[in-house]
Amino acid sequence: MNCLEFRRHKLVDPRRLSGEANKHAASCHTCHAFAQEIDDADLRFLQNSLTGVPSGLEERILLRRRFTPLRQAQRWAMAASVLLSGGLALTYWSGLFQANYAELAIQHVSHEPESFVNTRNDDTDFFRKALNDFGGQLQGSLGKVRYMKLCPGHGSAGWHVVLETPHGLATLLLIPGQRLQSPSTANEMGLYASAYSAGRGYYALVAGAPAAMAAVQAMMQKQVTWKT
């Protein structure tokens, strides 16, 4: 197992590693430090979740304000985050000026490993409403919704969604207010991503294998129609 394969396994399922992965971590200082960082982040998330605030409450408050101007939406998102009692740091979209938005999506996913092991707003109707507000209409299932979090940041507030599909776990990011001149793709840290303009901005898909990436994108094309 090489370092890229190890990181992919650690990000997909941080709490369960194969014997081969554990052996690699024991012999590679860099990957051992990476694994420790992921474990520490997971522990902090679990500790902060004990505050008693209902999971996803701040996102549901924000979603009630449909089509809120982006600057106002950012203020609402920041205010709603106070409900977390300061326990969780907001995840910020940075570097939106970069050309490769698929690469940016992979970087974002790699910094939120808890999204693969926790449930949050795991409600299909909630996902349908969020997608509709973004400009998409769900015509059929994309898989089981496991995790939804609103990530406010520079000029946009994007939905981070984890779907359990027939092709494995996949991440869908819905980023309003930013249009792409052309689709982009990326492959790093053992993850594969693609980004496309749609709805009120663009969406990005992240998966653990090229075949899974292509299959989930085909599902998006079949099951989601976009408002023009």
DSSP class per residue in 13-50: -TT---HHHHHHHHH-HHHHHHHHHHHHHHHHHHHHGG
Whole-number Å distance between alpha carbons of 131 and 125: 10
Q: Which mean pLDDT values do the consecutive 10-residue runs of the chain (228 residues) have?
A: 79 78 89 80 57 52 48 46 40 49 90 86 89 94 92 72 93 91 92 94 94 94 91
Q: Which two tokens stand for residue 148?
A: 């939804």
Residue 213 DSSP SS3: helix
Of 134, 108, 118, residue with least CA distance to 56:
118
Residues 138, 224: contact at Cβ < 8 Å? yes
The answer to whether 62 and 76 have CB atoms below 8 angstroms apart is yes
Give the containing element (helix H, strand E) for 157: strand 157-165
DSSP 8-state code for residue 153: -
Measured in residues, the chain has a length of: 228
State which amino acid sits at residue 111.
H
SS3 145: strand
pTM for the whole thing? 0.62
**pLDDT for residue 19:** 87
